[in-house]
Structure 1
Amino acid sequence: MARHPVATKAAAAAASPRRRAGAAAVVLTLALLLALCTGTAAGPRDDSAGPSAPGPSAGPPRADLGWGFTHTRASADGGTDAARRRAVRTLTPHRLPQNQHLMGWGAENPEPSPGRYDFAALDSRIAFIRETQGVPVLTLCCAPDWMKGGRAGHTDWDDLEKAPLPEHYANFARLAGHAAQRYPQVRHFLVWNELKGFFDDERGRWDHEGYTELYNLVYAEVKRVRPDALVGGPYVVMDSVTGDSPHASAELRGAWGSADQRALDAVRYWNTHRIGADFVVVDASSYTKDRRLLPDAFGATAKFTDIGRWVRGTTGLPLWWAEWYVEPGDAHDRRDDWTEGHRLAVQAAGLIAMARGGADTGLYWNPQLREGRCPGCLWEGTGEASGGGPLPILDLLTRFATAFGPGTGYESVTAHPPAGLHLLADDRTVLAVNPGTEPVRTRIDGRPVELAGHEVRWLDR
């Protein structure tokens, strides 16, 4: 889905079709795995040092990190000194999981030519995550041009979202392993992003065979060089469609629409053929592919609950939401039609729905701008000296992360009368969201409560 700016120059081009025979793919995968594990295809050395950082935290890493965010092209590691310092003060107390991509979304081409590395931009992001006491996560996407049929030494950002050619899967796996070694403080790795470049136009479905071949090579290499690391995939976009679509699933549907069967097929194939995984990764929008909110913006968030339960039931793995969206974008993928109060309330309902669906980790895609008004952003842009301060979505995310972090034991909570409220609770906290525009009076835990239209209210138990 074209939902976000990519890298430093342009949006990505459409993916090219791919086809391969299943048996040949298995043989190729085994051969490449052998080459990676024995070191017979080892690439050139990189003796440059990564950012100064302590070793991994004591104890084994957890597969459930709670709630954090993903850095995009513009983030707080750049901008004016005053705003950057303010952003550090804004983020540091919360120690959130922070995700960064290997290439694109703020990181330059890490291997412009075979064996020639450039990790300066990625070093900056990883150093910033450390400075703000965040938990670093690395998404292993995307691939240098020469792995995609392009010219070595050249980076065409219009081709960012192309997948590597099969003959370069092992080279990409080697690059992923190199990054894993360079950043020992990163212990969680996502393999690729939204199956970018893996859509087969001829067959009209995802090339989940090709992706899984790449995934298995990356998984094996990262585990070889970093046995402590946790690795997950397949980072599928769980699209939904209306019931009259030829791709509508008969097994997973609700008032929000029907799941796109092709996404379910991709998850099932990966789950059956993966050589290992520590968690499963998906993302989704609450709205359909044609940007319809069914039955409305708040009701559509039930999709996150239904999708989450299906994914967990299918894979048996801890569930990560790598991205989620509740507000349809315009033709330029801008989201600026809602008031901030409306946006905040629907985002809160989305968080509740993901938690009810069994989410263990959620990474908010931060659509950060360097300066100016920024709807849905976590902090004020650091391009201006006055920037770096928190915005309402960050307050919601950090409060949710604190109240409903890893290992939360959710408890039942009701409102009388129900008033259509979206509710989530554990033994200490209740989160209540009024989806309506008018005030409502009700009783929660027996206490009288009045919520304004679109109000998000935190209550102690």
Structure 2
Amino acid sequence: MARHEANSGARRWRLTALLGVGAAAVALLVTLLTALPGGGAPSGTTSDGDRPHGTPAVPADTGPDVGWGFTHTQFSADDGDPAAVSRVEERLTGSGLPQNQHIMGWGADNPEPSEGRYDFAALDRRIDFARATGATPVVTLCCAPDWMKGGDPGSTDWSALETAPDPEHFADFAALAATVARRYPDVRHFVVWNEFKGFWNDTAARWDYEGYTRLYNQVYRALKKVDADILVGGPYLVMDSVDPRQTELASPTLKGPWGAADQRVLDAFDYWNAHKAGADFVVVDGSSYTRDDELLPDEFAATDKFTAVSAWVRARTGELPLWWAEYYVEPADSNDDREGWSEPHRVAVQAAGLIALARGGTTSGFYWNPEKERGPDCPGCLWTPTDTPGGGTALPLYDLLARFSAAFPPGTRYEDVPVVADDPADVRVLAAAETVLVVNTRDRPVTAEIDGRRLDLTAYEVRWLDR
């Protein structure tokens, strides 16, 4: 799934390029500048990473569940035309949508270009945006600065963004995580790493779950040392699936018409679950389609995978809340573009995906928001690009996510309601005490009786009913 852009617009802080001088001369120059009055780190880089940034909001007493929200990606509404940015801020304020941000990449610069020298300007801006809108901020602790993974101190190779830190630098990454936690004391929820990036054992042709778990445990302990009330989750594995007819690598138990889970992923999850130092919530991600981008048996029925995988995870982790850090129902191209479906079709399948997640016991989920920097439209985005005064207008997926978040917060008790239709597959339904969500899965009108009410639904209609 091509969705993890490497922040090509981030600043490259590269001392070795300074006037073409040699490394030794640069080191001497930095030493002299540091000793001068007013000297110190280069612009945008500081050594006071532990100092709290700005005026932290009062930490929200949300517990380990945060509900349904979104992840900021390379482009978001923290930057752009002031009128457009303000439009998004006003829309988000009071929405209750939690916001997730990575510490490096996806809109954030290298947070520690060289050991002990920090650059949090971009991350500060994203956290401030979440604060300004009253959101619960979530931080994903990925990825690692270059000097922790064999790169040159002071440089950033964005093509190596997804490389894991070397084991000898696990403690350094844990220290960076602690620095981030002290800088943003109002951030209470931290996710450790992203999709096992860089943790693959080539020799054994499986995930390096031992290495990831060692990193996770060091980060977990470092964060709890900063504040025992900080909430930490992992392992953020991609719950891949293969064609249901495939036997190689396929789980013999976690399977359905949608496919079969990749047994290597399940093995990795079980190892982490058995050897973790602790967890306040569990995090996975994945798509409804198979690793080969097959939607089986169709795009709506494929979302049943979310229910099955969620139930599998919950059976192993007991009462721990389950988060999906990312969930996908529509295959994208190599540029992470989604152009094949109409917006009503896209919203209907997304609604079916959310219903499937909730039915499996998921309590928090984050929509990976593929915003564009500029342009008149943005398929699959929550709002239009913010590059012009007229930008930042809410799109149908924003309305779906905001309504779903408000109607089905953590702790919601779901109810069965009577459904009568010509074909049970015509509609998807999720009901709580006060609200019923109905989705027409057909590209034609459908008539159904839901909760005692006759409904004439247009093609791919998403209907909300008050009870």
Instruction: Check whether TM > 0.5.
Output: yes
How far apart are residue 8 of structure 1 and its match?
A: 2.8
Matched residue, 2:404: 400
User: Normalising by the residue count of structure 1, what TM-score does the alignment of the two structures yield?
Assistant: 0.90
Q: Are the counterparts in 2 of residues 90 and 388 from structure 1 also a CA contact under 8 Å?
A: no
Residue in structure 2 matching 1:432, options 438, 441, 444:
438
Tell me the SS of whatever aligns to 1:180: helix
How far apart are residue 93 of structure 1 and its match?
A: 2.4
Distance 1:193 1:371 in 2: 27
Distance 1:455 1:152, change over 3 A: same
How far apart are residue 418 of structure 1 and its match?
A: 5.5
Alignment of 1:6-155 (within 5 A): 6-9=6-9, 46=49, 48-57=51-60, 59=61, 61-155=62-156
Q: Are the counterparts in 1 of residues 49 and 180 from structure 2 also a CA contact under 8 Å?
A: no
Q: Are the counterparts in 2 of residues 51 and 124 from structure 1 also a CA contact under 8 Å?
A: no
Alignment of 1:146-225 (within 5 A): 146-225=147-226
Matched residue, 1:358: 361
The runs of 4+ residues in structure 1 deviating greater than 4 Å are none
Q: Are the counterparts in 2 of residues 380 and 387 from structure 1 also a CA contact under 8 Å?
A: yes
Distance 2:132 2:408 in 1: 24
How far apart are residue 440 of structure 1 and its match?
A: 1.1
Residue in structure 1 matching 2:324, options 312, 321, 324:
321
Alignment of 1:292-441 (within 5 A): 292-316=294-318, 317-372=320-375, 373-417=377-421, 419=423, 420=425, 421-441=427-447
Distance 2:190 2:228 in 1: 12
Distance 1:45 1:381 in 2: 34
Distance 1:390 1:88 in 2: 11
Q: Are the counterparts in 2 of residues 73 and 368 from structure 1 also a CA contact under 8 Å?
A: yes
Distance 1:96 1:351 in 2: 15
Q: Are the counterparts in 2 of residues 321 and 361 from structure 1 also a CA contact under 8 Å?
A: yes
Residues 1:4 and 2:10 aligned together:
no
Distance 1:47 1:324 in 2: 33
Q: Are the counterparts in 2 of residues 411 and 426 from structure 1 also a CA contact under 8 Å?
A: yes
Distance 1:437 1:207 in 2: 44
Distance 1:180 1:360 in 2: 24
Q: Structure 1 residues 411-420 or 108-117, which shifts more?
A: 411-420
Q: Are the counterparts in 2 of residues 66 and 361 from structure 1 also a CA contact under 8 Å?
A: yes
Post-superposition CA distance 1:324-370 (Å, at most 9, x none) = 00001124332111000110000000000000000110010000112
Residue in structure 2 matching 1:446, options 428, 452, 465:
452
Give unpaired runs (5+ residues) of structure 2: 11-46
Distance 1:407 1:80 in 2: 38
Tell me the SS of whatever aligns to 1:343: helix
How far apart are residue 48 of structure 1 and its match?
A: 4.8
Task: Kindly provide the amino acid, as one letter, of the partner of residue 201 in structure 1.
Answer: D
Tell me the SS of whatever aligns to 2:326: strand
Distance 1:168 1:47 in 2: 19
Alignment of 1:242-257 (within 5 A): 242=243, 243-257=245-259
Distance 1:181 1:434, change over 3 A: same
How far apart are residue 202 of structure 1 and its match?
A: 2.0
How far apart are residue 2 of structure 1 and its match?
A: 3.1
Q: Are the counterparts in 2 of residues 52 and 127 from structure 1 also a CA contact under 8 Å?
A: no
How far apart are residue 47 of structure 1 and its match?
A: 5.7
Q: Are the counterparts in 2 of residues 9 and 157 from structure 1 also a CA contact under 8 Å?
A: no
Residue in structure 2 matching 1:268, options 267, 270, 291:
270
Task: Kindly provide the amino acid, as one letter, of the partner of residue 125 in structure 1.
Answer: R
Post-superposition CA distance 1:55-78 (Å, at most 9, x none) = 423x5x411111000000100000
Give unpaired runs (5+ residues) of structure 1: 11-43
Tell me the SS of whatever aligns to 2:94: helix
Task: Kindly provide the amino acid, as one letter, of the partner of residue 390 in structure 1.
Answer: A
How far apart are residue 207 of structure 1 and its match?
A: 0.3
Post-superposition CA distance 1:151-205 (Å, at most 9, x none) = 0000000000000000000000000011011101100000000000001222111
Tell me the SS of whatever aligns to 2:283: strand
Distance 1:387 1:71 in 2: 17
Distance 1:134 1:174, change over 3 A: same
How far apart are residue 371 of structure 1 and its match?
A: 1.7
Task: Kindly provide the amino acid, as one letter, of the partner of residue 411 in structure 2.
Answer: G
User: Normalising by the residue count of structure 2, what TM-score does the alignment of the two structures yield?
Assistant: 0.89
Tell me the SS of whatever aligns to 2:174: helix
Tell me the SS of whatever aligns to 1:212: helix
Q: Structure 1 residues 157-166 or 82-91, which shifts more?
A: 82-91
Tell me the SS of whatever aligns to 2:438: strand
Distance 1:201 1:298 in 2: 35
Q: Are the counterparts in 2 of residues 301 and 353 from structure 1 also a CA contact under 8 Å?
A: yes
Tell me the SS of whatever aligns to 2:363: strand
Larger gyration radius, structure 1 or structure 2: 2
Residue in structure 2 matching 1:277, options 276, 279, 291:
279
Q: How much identity, in percent, do the aligned residues show?
A: 59
Matched residue, 1:14: none
Matched residue, 1:22: none
Q: Are the counterparts in 2 of residues 68 and 397 from structure 1 also a CA contact under 8 Å?
A: yes
Post-superposition CA distance 1:78-134 (Å, at most 9, x none) = 001111111111111202110000111011000000000111110000000000111
How far apart are residue 245 of structure 1 and its match?
A: 4.5
Distance 2:253 2:148 in 1: 38
Tell me the SS of whatever aligns to 1:94: coil
